[in-house]
């Protein structure tokens, strides 16, 4: 560098000097090695990301195959039995079978909604279109849909009194909240209280859905958002909640937020996710 900066020719290498020639060769070798190493690291990162995506797809496919089979078998069995032996059943038995068909049909509808969301967000060309959404209106819409599904369950709401708007895809965030509420109703054994709390922390909105049920087995906390056994109740044959929670993670990640689950010291589980209050320049 001394010859390069302070001797003629200034800011140029004189390759008639052996030291300059050696320095140039070393710099070229270092540049090639650095470029090769950087390319290798980027390739490994891409392969790791693709491997993780394939693993999540495989988990989702296994869960879907299992989950679709059970309700479809029930619907087909109940409807066939009623058609073949309609006059042999009492009105009470018929209503019970029809209710089972209705419940499984609604469950399948939610499954399809979740799968459509995964398909939509799995396409790298699709971008989340965020619009400012009033928090109170979002919560009202969620509660209306939840009450239609579970009229016997109530949700304790705790949101700020001030007017708050959050940039988001409202339909997708509604689905996240409903999926988590569904998970609590279906799997939080012994639950007597279900709460939805929203508060602001710096430039983020924090959503918390908590219950006082059985909680989540510790070994499941690491995989609860992967679709590979994310339900709270290990004995439940339907693991749609796992798929639903996988969708939640996908949606929140697409919004640039974070989502996590944990057990409460007082008992029960809490699901927490964050959304930016303002859109960044990158978005």
Q: For 78-92, 96-110, 149-163, 260-274, which range has the lowest pLDDT when averaged over its residues? A: 96-110
pTM to 2 decimal places: 0.62
CA angle 106, 117, 124 (to 5 degrees): 165
Q: What pLDDT was estimated at residue 103?
A: 82
Q: What is the mean pLDDT of the chain?
A: 81
Model confidence over 173-217: pLDDT tens digits?
988 999 899 899 988 999 999 999 999 998 999 999 999 999 999
Would you say residue 241 has pLDDT above 60?
no
Contact yes or no for 194/208 (Cβ under 8 A): no
CA distances from 156 to 139, 175, 210 (A): 11, 18, 10
pLDDT grade, residue 129 (50/70/90)? confident
Strands 269-276 and 259-263 turn out to be: antiparallel
**What burial letters (b/e) apply to 40-67, b meaning 16+ CB within 10 Å?**
eeeeeeeeeeeeeeeebeebbeebbeeb
- The residue-averaged pLDDT of 215-221 equals 89
Residues 6+ apart with CB under 8 A from 165: 132, 133, 134, 135
- The residue-averaged pLDDT of 73-86 equals 90
DSSP code string of 174-198: HHHHHHHHHHHHHH-TT---EEEEE
């Amino acid at each position: 560098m001394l010859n390069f900066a302070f001797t003629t020719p200034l800011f140029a290498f004189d390759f008639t000097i052996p030291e300059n020639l050696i320095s140039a060769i070393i710099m070229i070798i270092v540049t090639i090695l650095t470029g090769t190493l950087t390319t290798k690291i980027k390739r490994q990162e891409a392969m790791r990301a693709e491997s993780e995506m394939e693993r999540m797809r495989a988990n989702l496919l296994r869960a879907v195959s299992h989950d679709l089979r059970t309700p479809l078998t029930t619907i087909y069995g109940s409807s066939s039995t009623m058609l073949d032996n309609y006059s042999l059943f009492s009105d009470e038995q018929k209503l019970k079978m029809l209710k089972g068909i209705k419940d499984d049909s609604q469950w399948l509808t939610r499954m399809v909604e979740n799968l459509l969301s995964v398909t939509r967000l799995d396409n790298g060309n699709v971008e989340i279109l965020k619009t400012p959404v009033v928090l109170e209106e979002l919560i009202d819409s969620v509660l209306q849909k939840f009450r239609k599904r579970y009229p016997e369950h109530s949700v304790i709401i705790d949101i700020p009194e001030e007017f708050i708007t959050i940039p988001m895809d409202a339909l997708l965030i509604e689905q996240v909240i409903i999926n988590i509420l569904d998970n609590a109703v279906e799997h939080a054994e012994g639950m007597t209280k279900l709460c939805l709390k929203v508060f602001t922390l710096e430039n983020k909105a924090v959503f918390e859905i908590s219950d006082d049920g059985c909680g989540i087995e510790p070994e499941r906390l690491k995989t609860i958002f992967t679709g590979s056994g994310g339900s709270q109740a290990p004995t439940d044959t339907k693991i749609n909640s796992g798929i639903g929670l996988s969708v939640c993670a996908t949606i929140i990640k697409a919004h640039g937020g974070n989502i996590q689950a944990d057990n409460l010291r007082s008992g029960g589980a809490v699901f927490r996710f964050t959304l930016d209050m303002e859109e960044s320049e990158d978005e």
